[in-house]
């Protein structure tokens, strides 16, 4: 967030847990590729959050 202040709009990452009309549970979050493109972040700056998909997957089990 120091290197690219606009990243503070989306960082720290958040995960939304929600239920649809059929009663199924979902976990939603902004993909790191989206965040990288949105804020012009380099790959090196995305390393700390690159494991979000694995963390969300593990939490869903």
DSSP-derived secondary structure for 27-60: EE---HHHHHHHHT--HHHHGGGTTHHHHHHHHH
Domain count of the chain? 1
In this structure, what DSSP letter does residue 25 have? E
47-57 pLDDT, tens digit per residue, is 988 999 999 99
* Structural domain of 46: 5-60
3-41 pLDDT, tens digit per residue, is 899 999 999 999 999 999 999 999 999 999 999 999 999
Measured CA to CA, the distance from residue 42 to residue 38 in angstroms comes to 11
């Amino acid at each position: 967030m120091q290197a690219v202040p606009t990243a503070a709009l989306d960082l720290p990452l958040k995960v939304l847990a929600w239920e649809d009309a059929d009663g199924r549970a979902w976990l939603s979050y902004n993909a790191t590729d989206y965040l990288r493109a949105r804020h012009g972040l380099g790959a090196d700056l995305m390393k700390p959050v690159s494991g979000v998909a694995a963390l969300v997957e593990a939490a869903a089990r």
